[in-house]
Amino acid sequence: MEKVAIFTDSKNYEVFIGEDILDSLHMRLNKYSKVLLVTDETVNRLHLNTIIDSIPERIDYEIYTTPSGEKAKTFKVYEDCISFALKVGLDRKSVILAFGGGAIGDLAGFVAATYMRGIAFIQIPTTILAHDSAVGGKVGINHPLGKNMVGAFYQPDIVIYNTNYLNTLPVRQIKSGFAEVVKHALIADVNFLNELMNHVQSIEEVISDKLPTYLKRGIEVKAKIVGLDERESGVRAYLNFGHTLGHALEAHAGFGNLTHGEGVMCGMVYALLLSKKLVGLEFDLDSFINWIERLGYQWKIPSSTQFDTIYELMKRDKKSVANKPVFVLLKSIGEPVLTAVDVPVLRETFYMMS
């Protein structure tokens, strides 16, 4: 079992990573009065019994099941979950278990952050993507005009990353999650990036005995940045590399039609092109693109997608200043920088990818 310590101004906690580690959950639940397990339809069907078996017999629990994916992150589902928690009698000594991928972690964490002005929650990720979203305390829901526009910074009590769950992921979700692993390498460590590019030659090779090491390394990258800037007033924005365009593409496609990782991978290629133009990045982008194509990523923007439409969505990005998008670019691999980019350059680069 691997372990990563997370240190923030509001709370310190640990991330446990490994196979068959749900005993860690059983031991920690005894201090809570009641458990609300929040999961989605897919995880409920595949893995629900493993969590129920880990809840101590003396503790009452309730289960709230949402639609799968981004459909869980709506105002309606959020309100229904709050109402359910009230009806079943959750109190301030209760705990919410976020059992699923990134969308469930975001929703359940936001419910925990706002229910009775804040109760405990525990992240139990079931996807590769959630190695990023489960750590760092960003929780929230989507607004029709933008992704994650309603939310809070609220840290979990613990993250228990039982990697057995990753064996049931469909290929599309493996790709979605691995994009965030690649992001962590690009913003932090050229050696990590080279290792990924040298050792992962097909998407099927992502699920291997090396995956826990890759996940731990990604979490360590995030932990270091979150420890410096919990509430994204500065360097934490670096974790949004590729997300300015990525989130806009997700919103434009309709949340759930384009996976987060698909949008982010496209956004990272866009940011790498901008980095070469604007901040002097020296990087073999052709080799990188050939690699992600071998893994099955589509990085080109559909020719029917109009820049002006996407630009309006990018302006709503949380890094924007005075209604102008600010991008995370790379001066070199592992050296991110926040940069305002003029519209003509954004437009030209956008159509280079279509």
Segment 48-56 shows an average pLDDT of 95
Indicate whether 316 pLDDT > 90. no
Strands (E), the chain: 2-7, 12-18, 34-40, 60-66, 95-100, 120-125, 138-143, 146-153, 159-162, 326-332, 335-340
- Angle of helix 171-188 relative to helix 260-278, nearest 10 degrees, comes to 30
CB atoms within 10 A of CB 50: 16
Indicate whether 308 pLDDT > 90. yes
Segment 114-130 shows an average pLDDT of 98
Which amino acid, residue 185? A
pLDDT band at 226 (very low <50, low <70, confident <90, very high): very high
Q: Determine the pLDDT at residue 312.
A: 94
Q: Find out whether 14 and 159 touch, Cβ atoms under 8 Å.
A: yes
pLDDT band at 163 (very low <50, low <70, confident <90, very high): very high
Q: What angle do CA 325, 328, 329 make, to 5 degrees?
A: 120
Round to whole Å and give the CA distance between 118 and 232.
20
Q: Determine the pLDDT at residue 320.
A: 85
Q: Determine the pLDDT at residue 322.
A: 78
Q: In terms of DSSP bridges, do strands 12-18 and 2-7 run parallel, antiparallel, or are they unpaired?
A: antiparallel
Round to whole Å and give the CA distance between 124 and 130.
9
At 55-77, the pLDDT tens digits run: 999 999 999 999 999 999 999 99
Starting at the edge strand found earlier in the chain, the sheet holding 159-162 runs 2-7, 12-18, 159-162, 120-125, 95-100, 34-40, 60-66
Segment 166-176 shows an average pLDDT of 96
Closest C-alpha to 123, from 71, 167, 176, 161: 161
To the nearest whole number, what is the mean pLDDT of the chain? 96
Indicate whether 145 pLDDT > 90. no
* Enzyme catalytic residues: 117, 138, 180, 222, 232, 236, 240, 243, 247, 260
Q: Determine the pLDDT at residue 88.
A: 98
DSSP letter at 55? S
Q: In terms of DSSP bridges, do strands 120-125 and 138-143 run parallel, antiparallel, or are they unpaired?
A: unpaired
DSSP letter at 298? -
Segment 37-60 shows an average pLDDT of 96
At 229-264, the pLDDT tens digits run: 999 989 999 999 999 999 999 999 988 899 999 999
